[in-house]
Structure 1
Amino acid sequence: MHSDQHAGLWLKTAAWGGLVFLHFPIVIIALYAFNTEESAFSFPPKGFTLHWFSVAFGRADVLESIGLSLKIASLATAIAMVLGTLAAAAMYRRSFFGKDSITLMLILPIALPGIITGLALLQAFQAMDIQPGILTIVIGHATFCVVIVYNNVVARFRRTSGSLIEASMDLGADGWQTFRYIVLPNLGSAMLAGGMLAFALSFDELIVTTFTAGHEKPLPIWLLNQLTRPRDVPVTNVVALMVMLATMVPVFLAYLLTRGGDDVAGSGK
């Protein structure tokens, strides 16, 4: 009993230590977002102010970058939800030659390093004589956002009993009615959770955006450029805090939608 308690204490200590290690930099950014001008570069902070929030949201470049990132993330998420759901519907029930290879190609963009994906997309766009811009960013983000939606939806499909669809058809429902009253209600939360995660991933994606943005400056690139401007550090911290909150909210909501084990999200068995 003593050894079990000792092991439990050790594991708890290691777990809390890992959490502190991961989140300490985030806490520092949050503290500096409220830091006074006089102590902007000192630690620990010597004052508390909301001045930098008004400065940040009064700058046109910040608002333009935020608006552009929201637009890109929304478009990429919409494309991913359509393609990811259709791919999941096509793959989950049918067995055919090459299915495993197609599945691998579907999930490959999320597994590849971002720099490889970005470089490959840039060369593909150049080969097709497509100039980098909003369109190329959206396409680049959609390539890995599709994977997020696909994984969520195909897991739900695997837990949707085929007998429900068969019963609906036997009772006289046509394809649209079966989809509307049987399939869609079962997929709704999985699609929404996948869309939220895809939006969060797209909103703060930097590496693929760097290769596909051209002259556009969405929020991640704006933040990267701010590193060369030390006097704007307080404003940068405020925007970084807003980005963290903007990505944490959809992730948390997706967690709430998909928690509950096999009945909701599926365990992949």
Structure 2
Amino acid sequence: MTALVLLFIYAPLLLVVVNSFNADRTFGWPPKGFTLEWWGRAFDSEGVREALVNSLWVAVVSTVISLILGTMLAMALQRYKFFGRDVVNLLVILPIALPGIVTGIALNNMFTTILGVSLSMWTVIIAHATFCMVTVFNNVIARLRRMNGRLEEASADLGAGVFTTFRLVTFPQLRSALLAGGLLAFALSFDEIIVTTFTIGAGDTTLPIWILQNLFRPNQAPVVNVVAVVLIVVSIVPIWLAQRLSADSVGISAGRARARAAVK
């Protein structure tokens, strides 16, 4: 059953990859020949290049914002006890649980009605940061719960300040969690389309928006397949790297635990 479910999910993705090389413009099956023409047209398309640059720009900036805010929130909620901490924790993770269309409508109303701000790529970045921050927050707070606080206490006892302790003791232990959370945030932002639709300016576009706009244009259909393959690859690679980083960090923690048990 698992194999059937995976086949149902990934067979269409494989079909998109094959059609990006299909010489038949109507995508006849089985393919009668293969060509790189559509890939050449995609790289020569000014609209595709502009959309790709915009998607990369939005993903990178929103990831940086998410790393800063997600780390600060995780440390505040894990290290300190204060009134309303559970409520704040719920509010932080809520954006990723809400339907994208609800988040998009809410942010559109906030930007255009309450703040009176014109929609642009910066509104898209802020919108993406609201849910990308959750992936960083979850990774960092999970790592903080497994960290040994005695190392930071020892650093403070030896005279190190707060920032020195964070730079030399806390940050090295959080590094892989931050990298994994940042990669996941980048992947989420890069292929986001629902929230982007409600928060992007009229003259702007990202790669997913470009695909949606050109999906049903016969002349652009072969190029759309190429862009979709690029989107698949750029989305899968960060997720795979994040999974490897998370697995490696768990393995290292387990190895240390076994080593301590053996010494005892």
User: Counterpart of 1:92 in 2: which secondary structure?
Assistant: helix
User: In the TM superposition, what is the alpha-carbon distance from 1:40 to its structure 2 partner?
Assistant: 3.5
Unpaired segments of 5 or more residues in structure 1?
Answer: 1-13
Tell me, yes or no, if structure 1 residue 244 matches structure 2 residue 235. Answer: no
Tell me, yes or no, if structure 1 residue 101 matches structure 2 residue 94. Answer: no
Confirm or deny: 8 A CA contact 1:133 1:213 kept in the other structure: yes
CA distance in 2: counterparts of 1:160 and 1:55, whole angstroms: 51
User: Counterpart of 1:76 in 2: which secondary structure?
Assistant: helix
Specify the alignment match of 2:38 in structure 1: 52
Q: Deviations over 1:14-41 (max 9, x none)?
A: 11111101101101100100100x3542
User: In the TM superposition, what is the alpha-carbon distance from 1:99 to its structure 2 partner?
Assistant: 1.1
Confirm or deny: 8 A CA contact 2:25 2:222 kept in the other structure: no
TM-score by length of 1: 0.90
Tell me, yes or no, if structure 1 residue 23 matches structure 2 residue 16. Answer: no
Equivalent residues in 2 for 1:83-98 (5 A)?
83-98=69-84
Q: Deviations over 1:92-117 (max 9, x none)?
A: 12222211110000000000000000
Equivalent residues in 2 for 1:3-152 (5 A)?
14-36=1-23, 38=24, 40-126=26-112, 127-152=114-139
CA distance in 2: counterparts of 1:15 and 1:256, whole angstroms: 22
Specify the alignment match of 1:167 in structure 2: 154
Specify the alignment match of 1:195 in structure 2: 182
Amino acid of the residue matched to residue 152 of structure 2? I
Q: Deviations over 1:10-66 (max 9, x none)?
A: xxxx11111101101101100100100x35421222211111111100110100000
User: In the TM superposition, what is the alpha-carbon distance from 1:172 to its structure 2 partner?
Assistant: 2.2
Tell me, yes or no, if structure 1 residue 213 matches structure 2 residue 196. Answer: no
Specify the alignment match of 1:11 in structure 2: none
Identity of aligned residues (%): 47
CA distance in 2: counterparts of 1:52 and 1:115, whole angstroms: 33
Aligned residues, how many?
A: 252
Confirm or deny: 8 A CA contact 1:29 1:237 kept in the other structure: yes
Q: Deviations over 1:59-90 (max 9, x none)?
A: 10100000011001111001000000010111
TM-score by length of 2: 0.92
Q: Deviations over 1:111-145 (max 9, x none)?
A: 00000000000000112110111111001000000
Specify the alignment match of 1:9 in structure 2: none
Tell me, yes or no, if structure 1 residue 256 matches structure 2 residue 244. Answer: yes
Amino acid of the residue matched to residue 73 of structure 1? A
User: Counterpart of 1:202 in 2: which secondary structure?
Assistant: helix
Amino acid of the residue matched to residue 83 of structure 1? L
Confirm or deny: 8 A CA contact 1:160 1:186 kept in the other structure: yes
Confirm or deny: 8 A CA contact 2:176 2:249 kept in the other structure: no
CA distance in 2: counterparts of 1:40 and 1:33, whole angstroms: 12
User: In the TM superposition, what is the alpha-carbon distance from 1:167 to its structure 2 partner?
Assistant: 1.0
Q: Deviations over 1:207-264 (max 9, x none)?
A: 0000001211111110000123022111100000001001111111111110147456
Q: 1:18 to 1:62 in 2, by over 3 A?
A: same
Confirm or deny: 8 A CA contact 1:155 1:265 kept in the other structure: no
Unpaired segments of 5 or more residues in structure 2?
Answer: 255-264
Amino acid of the residue matched to residue 233 of structure 1? A
TM-align CA RMSD:
1.5
